[in-house]
Structure 1
Amino acid sequence: MRTVEVICSAELDDAVRAAWDRLAAAGLPSLARNTHPTNRPHLTLAAVDEFPPGAEHRLAGLFDAALPVPVTLDRIVVLDGSAPLVWLVRPMPALTALHAAAWDVLASATGHRPWHAPGAWVPHLSLALRFRNADLRLARAVAGGQRPMGAFVAARSYDGTDRSVTPLIRQQR
């Protein structure tokens, strides 16, 4: 599996990591416990089995032109009742346009994950996996009621086969 992800600005990354730490300190599930070097706050735009030929180059051009994209986080929810605890991302026009453009680049790819498709996609930053809906109230209190702002400033692809990341941007920010 290959993903297309956008990466948070320093201030947004710090806010999400602080929430991870507060959840872990409260004894709740948290991505703070995932010590793999690829673990960092990110927003997944798409996931496919493999990129079609030329997709990395086209995605890099897309992100070079579109980033940074301003973002505001919204409320904390549990997706599907007993799954990831996430911080919803407000779907601003620039972000939804970027999402649609990434899907256009991957149109000929195989194995699209339908939950990332335009119309089904719920933009979010993950806080914990396998979270119980019963702990949501406590998680909201622990993670904080703020609505952090920042930007998505870079892009990458995660390769689920070898657990590696590849930058999807040509210019340094």
Structure 2
Amino acid sequence: MTHTVELLLDDDLDRHVRGWWRRLRDAGLASLAAHPHPTNRPHLTVVTAASLAGLRPLPLPIPVELGPVRMLGRALVLGVTATARLRDLHHEVVSALADPEPWPPPPQWVPHVSLALRMPEEQRAAALDLFAGEPPARGHLVAARSYDSRTRTVVDLDPSCGP
């Protein structure tokens, strides 16, 4: 069983990412637009842990820049500029949790927003070409939630008092 700490995008950025999901789907490519689960929405995962015990208030909102599109393993993602403020938040979350092994540790964290989780190898070049030259998208990370992999549910994390 795992829990995540996920940061949610402001309304404009959320619409922007969903538009990119639709562009992929409309081009016949793998996309999170096709993911049917009701918790599916654009987000930045900060950490995954067995427990969120010890989580402190999160300093939101945080400015964010999304882009460029790239592959991260088998996932097509929007890179997220790893600002000092964002890296500090990740370090603070990891350090606060009672879980001895939250994932990923700060040196291995690659902040991103997913566009497709299992991009078939034969679609990767077309997907990257679809977004070539797109300018970065800017906005804010405005709220937090946690996904429970056992129950497949989410709970909002109140930035003023934790879970």
Give yes or no for TM over 0.5.
yes
1:149–1:170 distance in 2 versus 1, CA, 3 Å? closer
1:79–1:170 distance in 2 versus 1, CA, 3 Å? closer
Residue 37 of structure 1, CA deviation? 1.2
Q: Deviations over 1:93-117 (max 9, x none)?
A: 11111111111111x215523xx21
Q: Deviations over 1:64-121 (max 9, x none)?
A: xx110001112111112xx111110000111111111111111x215523xx210001
5 Å matches for 1:42-121? 42-52=43-53, 55=54, 58-59=55-56, 61=57, 63=58, 66-80=59-73, 83-106=74-97, 108-113=98-103, 116-121=104-109
Q: Distance in 2 between matches of 1:137 and 1:88?
A: 17
Contact 2:67 2:80 in 1 (8 A): yes
Aligned-pair identity in percent equals 38
Contact 1:3 1:48 in 2 (8 A): yes
Higher strand share: 2
Q: TM-score, normalised by structure 1?
A: 0.84
**Pair 1:153-2:142 in alignment:** yes
Unaligned runs of 5+ in 1: none
Contact 1:49 1:110 in 2 (8 A): no
Q: Which residue of 2 aligns with 1:164?
A: 153
1:93–1:111 distance in 2 versus 1, CA, 3 Å? closer
* Number of equivalent positions: 158
Q: Which residue of 2 aligns with 1:141?
A: 129
Unaligned runs of 5+ in 2: none
Q: Deviations over 1:33-66 (max 9, x none)?
A: 01211100000110012233xx3xx43x2x1xx1
The SS at the match of 1:119 is helix
Q: TM-score, normalised by structure 2?
A: 0.89
Contact 1:77 1:136 in 2 (8 A): no
Contact 2:32 2:116 in 1 (8 A): yes
Higher helix share: 1
